[in-house]
Amino acid sequence: MAYRRPLLRTAYEQDAAMLPTWFQRGAFFLLIFTFCLAALGAPFLSGIPSFFLGGTWINPVTNIFPLGIAALGFLILVGFTGQVSIGHAFFMGVGAYVAVSLGGNGDGWKACVPFHDEVGLLDQAAQCGMGLPMWVWLPMAGIGATLVGILVSPAAVRVRGLYLAIATIGLIFIGLHLGRMLPEYAGDFESGRRWPELQFKWWQEETPLIDMTSDGKWFGLIHLTEEQKQFFFLLGMLLIFGVITKNIARSRTGRALQAIRDRDIAAEVMGVPEFKYKLIGFAISSFYAGIGGALFASYNGRVAPVQWSLLLSVDFIAILLIGGIGTIAGTMLGLVFVELTPEVVKKFTEWLADQLGNGGLTGWVADVLLTQGGDFGPIAVTPAAPGWPMSVFLWNFVIFGVLIVVFMIFEPQGLYGIWLRIRNYWKGWPFSY
């Protein structure tokens, strides 16, 4: 009798498949199916919709999808190519402002005139746009960011390591300075301007073909709320870019990028042109960042120039370090963990605040952790000045800093490495070897 060896792969196509096993395919589609049912509020999922993707959670979850597209671009640059960049938020901002220039409702480029005191910042900036449809401004957001990335990449790819990180930090401050100096274009530095809505039109007709900013039937088949339409659209965009990223990783270009990451001099000796492929990695990463920035700004409606700051770039570093550098699954795990942790901490703190003064264990925990100004709790319930006790906003920075240090020391492979150890343990159970 012939026995078939599990997970035996006899061809490169089998080894490089996106989902090589039936278990992985089933788990992936089950996850997507569960997400969709939860977003639709399926009643037979018990309490999942109201807790997971109900009115409280569907917006924070949807908000991470555009950031996920940008994070995949950061993965290509840092995880595949080995380029340490801290300027990713700048390219998101470039894509966002290309999108609002082309898609914003206004009087076209002639409205982008020098600012005058008698005109309000938001009113002036709202006039600067060409009103083009989404199928124009969305790809052009990625192309615009790519062109800027190609412009700066010759200087960036000639340096490496810490020097590249310092060089790309300069892009962040250039972007912030331009946002502050061009209020007639960017709007107020703190409140920003309106972005084009997520609507699909053939050109500039009044009634969009697909409107994701109002409740109604989608394609005449199913009634969805505004939040549900945007959830499914942005989830679909994230899946598309995830598939493209996986195909890049297993293509000739992806193998060349990873060879440069592992041993750049050896790759050059083997015939891989380092400068060319570093430039390609920078350009692809910028394209992803531009698309992610445009979708992020359009979903949120109003985004200020200060949003595209160093803190946003640090978020992407945390996503890769905590999730796992070099893998799409690790990037998605890090994305969910990093972007939803502040919301979880905020909701938990609000719940604890309701328990103040109550008896029992929860009341005691709330009295220990929270303060309203008269006791010694580390978390301030009301907005507090910098110092002790700290607000929830500042505690999130502390949590991220501690997590980055812990993962760098104890688990360099991140959450994906933890998953690998769990998976390998159950593969070999009950044997220990």
Tell me the per-residue pLDDT of 48-97, one tens digit each, with 9 for 90 and over.
Answer: 444 445 556 788 889 999 999 999 999 999 989 888 888 899 999 999 99
Both 201 and 333 in one domain: the answer is: no
**CB proximity list for 103: less than 8 A, separation 6 or greater:** 129, 130, 131, 132, 133, 134, 136, 137, 195, 196, 298
Q: For residue 133, is the peptide bond before it cis, meaning its omega torsion is within 30 degrees of 0?
A: no
Both 268 and 134 in one domain: the answer is: yes
Quick one: pLDDT at residue 126? Answer: 58
Both 285 and 352 in one domain: the answer is: no
pTM: 0.87
**CB proximity list for 76: less than 8 A, separation 6 or greater:** 245, 248, 257, 281, 284, 285, 288
Report whether 73 contacts 331 (CB < 8 A). Answer: no
CA distance 206 to 126: 18
List the structure tokens of 312. 């946003």
Both 188 and 267 in one domain: the answer is: yes
Both 255 and 136 in one domain: the answer is: yes
Quick one: pLDDT at residue 244? Answer: 95
Buried b (16+ CB within 10 A) or exposed e, 301-329: eebbbbbbbeebbbbbbbbbbbbbbbbbb
Residue of 392, 417, 398 lying closest to 407 (CA atoms): 417
Report whether 140 contacts 96 (CB < 8 A). Answer: no
Quick one: pLDDT at residue 122? Answer: 53
Quick one: pLDDT at residue 1? Answer: 46
Residue 40 lies in a domain: no
Both 123 and 252 in one domain: the answer is: yes
- Count: domains in the chain: 2
Residue 19 lies in a domain: no
Residue 27 lies in a domain: no
Quick one: pLDDT at residue 49? Answer: 41
Both 300 and 335 in one domain: the answer is: no
Residue 64: domain span: 48-308
Both 276 and 356 in one domain: the answer is: no
Intervals of the chain under pLDDT 50? 1-2, 44-52, 114-119
What is the 8-class DSSP label of residue 217? Answer: E
Both 291 and 355 in one domain: the answer is: no
**Amino acid, res. 104:** G
